[in-house]
Amino acid sequence: DVKVTQSSRYLVKRTGEKVFLECVQDMDHENMFWYRQDPGLGLRLIYFSYDVKMKEKGDIPEGYSVSREKKERFSLILESASTNQTSMYLCASSFPGETYEQYFGPGTRLTVT
């Protein structure tokens, strides 16, 4: 079974702090994704990566950066957390190509105070 894990289920940070969200997958997937989920807005893509050290902006990259130093690990970084970044963050992975489904991690609920 594919397993996607995220470093924290719940996280509380202060405004201005640097925040790291980690995601690890064990299925050797090339693609990895970071989404945020907000009520009524569905899942919005922040960044994705299709290979080690490769990244591409999604629909809402502002205020975020990512790092992919190893194939299995994809990190989301909030350089200076703000209250409007309070959200559920979901990581996903997949094989390349449109016919492959995405496997999601359990999510990290981040609260910025």
Q: How far is the CB of 83 from other proteins (least distance, A)?
A: 23
What is the dihedral sign for C-alpha 21, 43, 2, 8? positive
25 lies in the binding site for other proteins (CB under 8 A): no
Residues whose CB is less than 8 angstroms from the CB of residue 43 and which lie 6 or more positions away in sequence, other chains included: 35, 36, 37, 90
Q: How far is the CB of 17 from other proteins (least distance, A)?
A: 25
**Closer residue to other proteins in complex, CB, 72/103:** 103
93 lies in the binding site for other proteins (CB under 8 A): no
- From residue 22, give the alpha-carbon distance in Å to each of 4, 12, 73, 101, 105: 11, 15, 7, 21, 11
Question: In this chain, which of 55, 102, 110, 112 binds other proteins, going by CB under 8 A?
Answer: 102
Q: How far is the CB of 70 from other proteins (least distance, A)?
A: 19
Question: In this chain, which of 23, 25, 46, 48 binds other proteins, going by CB under 8 A?
Answer: 48
Q: Cβ-count burial of 18 within 10 angstroms (0-12 exposed, 13-18 middle, 19+ buried)?
A: exposed
Residues making contact with other proteins (CB under 8 A): 31, 35, 40-45, 48, 50, 56, 58-59, 90, 92, 94, 96-99, 101-107
